[in-house]
Amino acid sequence: MLEEIDIANPKTKNEYLDYYKRIRTRTEELAEPLEKEDYVIQAVTDSSPTKWHLAHVSWFYEAFILKAFDGGYKPLNEIYNYIFNSYYQDVGNPFPRPKRGTLSRPTVNEVYEFRKYINDSMFNVLENVMDNETLRTLTVLGGNHEQQHQELMMTDLKHNFGSNPMFPAYKRTKTLDTKDAEPVPNMTFIQFKAGVVEIGHQDSGFAFDNELPVNKTYLNEYRLANRLVTNGEYLKFIEADGYTDFRYWLSDGWDVIRRDRWQAPLHWHKINGEWHTFTLSGMKKLNLNEPVAHVSYFEADAYAKFVGKRLPSEGEWENAAIISGVRSTDGNFFESGYLHPKAVDIGRANEGKEVLQMYGDVWEWTGSAYLPYPGFSVLAEGVSEYNGKFMNAQWVLKGGSCVTPIDHFRTSYRNFFQSDKQWQFTGIRLAE
């Protein structure tokens, strides 16, 4: 897995070409199981059509690399700059996000032609301007950007399929075979010392601007759960009428669950009296030992209050990950092929002293608002809108999920969503 990490940070021209090709190819592999119709739709505003993702990540190279580094570059179609811009005001007014699913054209085939056109242009630039440092930086940024959208493609497809009363599967995996018979290790709380610690991206590899700079934060003594909260544990909250007891809920959350009549995590369905959950492999009976997923911050926070605990801060989480020496190679990321969170193997429990499931499975809500690190500065013009402008009313999530590409992940990675979002693989780790 060391190799994986290396390939995330290319150095030579060949490594850059390989890096670029590998990520581009992966994106298209993700779309292989789809019917053409599946590329087009957008079940909710939060999600985007698969063909939009395929084209948008290509547009990113056009807007920020090809136009800057290839004097002779001619866009394949000028209108794509409008349609496939996500939110970059700096390069023009973007097409309205909620309407992405109303465009049948360009067709899927035309989008693949666009991808090929961008690839040919990028190969050309990488061959010829490789020694420009900004180009190299932007190429890796473009790769990481595309990997983010690989993850979004999976979560958006899950939402699209899960909103269809036919509940089609994306692809059959081993997911459906899991049993909830074997017990999971008890939840224990592992102690960490108080003091000033350093968090943020520490090595020389790639990181987003929001992971920088390395910064000091003071932590009180704290204790972190050895594993994620399971479906079975969360079910007890539901069965104790947690969704109708205001005492557990933030005021804004209480408004949301009453307005939208939430009664369980997203993708949970009670069918003939039995709880099921929709997965990328289709509908299956709820496995009580798997980590609970698709809970909003409001639900994660309410559950923590229900059991008399709290969510960890991002500093606490990151410090625990560093100190414990857990390895991302152990994580259930996209590459494991499950595309669903996995129950802890009882054998792994190690007397409750090991911090398990830190990487992969589900993004873990922290109790930290998504704010700039002290000394934060945005990227260069053009891509300056990448992260900073979203630092309002969102929470940090840590650890990656079962659909995150493993070489896209870093311990310092800061994902962020608003309090009411459920459509990602998001789960709960407790602290106290």
Chain residues binding a copy of itself by CB under 8 A are 35-44, 51, 79, 82-83, 87, 89-90, 95, 99, 101-108, 160, 163-166, 168, 196, 215-218, 220, 246-247, 249-254, 297-298, 310, 367-369, 371-372, 374-375, 384, 389-393, 418-419
Rounded to 5 degrees, φ, ψ at 397 are: -120, 145
Nearer to a copy of itself, 103 or 176 (CB): 103
Q: How far is the CB of 103 from a copy of itself (least distance, A)?
A: 5
Q: How far is the CB of 69 from a copy of itself (least distance, A)?
A: 23
Q: How far is the CB of 324 from a copy of itself (least distance, A)?
A: 21
Rounded to 5 degrees, φ, ψ at 332 are: -85, 80
CB 280 within 8 A of CB 340: yes
CA–CA distance from 18 to each of 140, 143, 249, 283, 406 (Å)? 12, 11, 49, 37, 17
Nearer to a copy of itself, 336 or 418 (CB): 418
Candidates 423, 407, 404, 266; CA nearest to 338 is 404
Nearer to a copy of itself, 189 or 390 (CB): 390
Q: How far is the CB of 244 from a copy of itself (least distance, A)?
A: 11
Nearer to a copy of itself, 42 or 289 (CB): 42
Candidates 210, 128, 123, 196; CA nearest to 415 is 210
CA-atom Rg of the chain in angstroms: 22
Nearer to a copy of itself, 252 or 345 (CB): 252
Q: How far is the CB of 390 from a copy of itself (least distance, A)?
A: 6
CA–CA distance from 19 to each of 6, 92, 122, 182, 355 (Å)? 10, 29, 12, 41, 32
DSSP code of residue 297: H
Nearer to a copy of itself, 16 or 208 (CB): 208
Nearer to a copy of itself, 324 or 384 (CB): 384
Nearer to a copy of itself, 119 or 418 (CB): 418
In this structure, the number of other CB atoms found within 10 A of the CB of residue 123 comes to: 13
Q: How far is the CB of 404 from a copy of itself (least distance, A)?
A: 23
Q: Name residue 225's beta-bridge partners.
A: 189
Nearer to a copy of itself, 336 or 394 (CB): 394
Q: How far is the CB of 170 from a copy of itself (least distance, A)?
A: 11
Q: How far is the CB of 221 from a copy of itself (least distance, A)?
A: 10
DSSP code of residue 66: I
CB 68 within 8 A of CB 80: no
Q: What is the DSSP string of 314-370?
A: HHHHHHHHHHHT--GGGSB-GGGS--S--PPPGGG-GGGTS--S-SBSSEEEEEEE-
CB 360 within 8 A of CB 404: yes
Q: How far is the CB of 94 from a copy of itself (least distance, A)?
A: 11
**What sign results for the dihedral spanned by CA atoms 200, 201, 206, 212?**
positive
Nearer to a copy of itself, 96 or 347 (CB): 96
Both tokens assigned to 32: 């292989």
Q: How far is the CB of 247 from a copy of itself (least distance, A)?
A: 7
Rounded distance between C-alpha atoms, residue 11 and residue 15, angstroms: 6
Q: What is the DSSP string of 18-45?
A: HHHHHHHHHHHHHHTT--GGGGT--SST
